[in-house]
Chain A
Amino acid sequence: MAKHRGRGVASVNYPIGMNLGGDPSQALVHATPTGKFVVALSSIDLGQGMKSVTRQLAAETLGVPVEDVFVDTADSDTGPHCMGSFASRGTHRAGNAVIAAAKEAKQVLLEVAAEELEVDPKDLELDGRGKVQVKGAPSRAISVRDVAQRAHFKRGKSISGRGMFLVPPSDVDPETGEMNPVTTYAHACMVAEVEVDDETGEVTVLSLKAAYEIGRALNVKLVEQQLVGGAWMGISHALYETPEPYYPDRAHGPIDFNEYLMPGPADMCPVQIDLLERPALDGPYGAKGIGEMCATPPIPAIANAIFDAVGVRITEMPFTPEKILKALDAKRGR
């Protein structure tokens, strides 16, 4: 009876978004009279950072400070259409729509500024700090605030833009069943190190080390936050969580947080993550997505590490002590 260490590897090829009857997202951008910008979006922020990333994308495209952009995801009934925050699609699909809307709004902003400065809109640029200026002659400038004021009160114009991103429906080839549901894939490789107690069947995850290739990381801290949280969730899926009873009796099934097991803060192992940035051709500034794949690689990596440690293959989640002990018994012919 002893504790055995093992190491397991998993690699992931993850589709960004989905495609049943086409996968669209839309965004609307408009300037307020004070020269702040609002992005209306139905892609809901559930803590993953949709609003932060939207702000960054709109500010970058418009050429204004990120503080001057506000994101309104208040109501999916009245906002521009989005398929939703799922399938790791938010940054990729909605992000592209936000960029398109911001580009159109910027064009109107430059046109109004050009009228005020009596120059060609093509000769204008934004300085990223709240000014529109003549290229090569930054002293000839007007603040974004003043442009918005003139647009609203003098020229009767709406500084606004519409954005649409659609991955069109992909028909199934009747001969082969083939289709192309997505336009880009993210990738990862993870190594899990575990310790398995062959007397109790208990598994302790000692470390998770991973490299993630996710296109451009638009916000590195948010990416790392999701990957660390996702690693925890992956451990939880692998070793703890199930709505089914651990024993074959419905009465033993979990009904609350006392019995629906998840790892606590003391069960979390060190997680080391490296990001590889290979911009996606059709991603917003090269971004892919990081939503769901953060929780998947720990599961096969831990299963492989258990096999490496004690030589048993557990093929059903979660990898509970009962399943490991039964498999060890079967292996020993008991």
Chain B
Amino acid sequence: MTKAVRLELNGSPVAAVAEGGENLLALLRERLGDTSPKAGCLQGTCGACTVLLDGEPVLACLTLAELADGRRVTTVRGLQDGPRLHPLQEAFMDGFAAQCGFCTPGMLIAAKALLDREPNPTREQVIEAIAGNVCRCTGYTPIVEAILDAARRLAGRRG
């Protein structure tokens, strides 16, 4: 059973036909060509596929594609404003918070969801927010520091 799915992807209206039971990750990567969410464990335990669905972080590998119909999806590709990187992306780069980069899109999206609801998070809140995202390279500390740094940058931008 196929189903037409219309959604807003990073601000643009898009549509694709999903197979019954197809997950949002496959829809994004294979049908809509947005490969920024990564396919890691495909069972909801690594966080690499995290995207925002109407602003809330979800695991795209465990979300049915058709549930995204009529809703807003934000991937890491939607973070930057034209050529201008999001403060989170800048902080990750400046703080050497990525090595192989496979977990980075999921980390950035999990961090975005945190900063959207809590612009001035504590270290504990940052750790809690990325607790579902596995990183094999960085030892997490640079990622936690980068998210705290991004919160300060965003605060500075708001003046």
Contacts and interface: CB of A to CB of B under 8 A. Distances in A.
Interface of A: 46-49, 221-222, 224-226, 228-233, 256-258, 262, 264-266, 268, 271
Contacts of A222: 96
A265 B134 CA distance: 9
Contact of B142 (A48, A228, A262): A228
B138 A229 contact: yes
Given A226-B99, A265-B127, 15 more contacts: A47-B98, A47-B99, A49-B99, A225-B96, A229-B99, A229-B138, A232-B140, A256-B43, A257-B45, A257-B46, A265-B130, A265-B144, A266-B127, A268-B141, A271-B141
B99 A265 contact: no
A233 B96 contact: no
Please classify the interface of chain B as helix (H, G, I), strand (E, B), loop, or mixed, using the class held by over half of its residues: loop
B32 interface: no
| Residue from B131, B138, B143 having most chain A Cβ neighbours under 10 A | B138
A49 B131 CA distance: 26
B107 to A, nearest CB: 10
- The range of chain B's interface size is 20 to 34
Contacts, number: 60
23 contacts: A47-B100, A49-B99, A221-B96, A222-B96, A225-B99, A225-B138, A225-B142, A226-B99, A228-B142, A229-B138, A232-B138, A232-B141, A233-B136, A256-B41, A257-B45, A257-B46, A262-B134, A265-B127, A265-B141, A265-B143, A266-B127, A266-B131, A268-B140
A171 B106 CA distance: 49
B101 interface: yes
Contacts of B141: 228, 232, 265, 268, 271
Contacts of A225: 96, 99, 138, 142
Please classify the interface of chain A as helix (H, G, I), strand (E, B), loop, or mixed, using the class held by over half of its residues: helix
Interface of B: 41, 43, 45-46, 96, 98-101, 126-127, 130-131, 134, 136-144
Contacts of A257: 41, 45-46, 134
Nearest to A256: B45
Contacts of A232: 138-141
Given A257-B134, A266-B127, A271-B139, A47 B101 contact: yes
Closest 5 CB pairs of A and B: A232-B139, A47-B100, A47-B99, A257-B45, A265-B140
A229 B45 contact: no
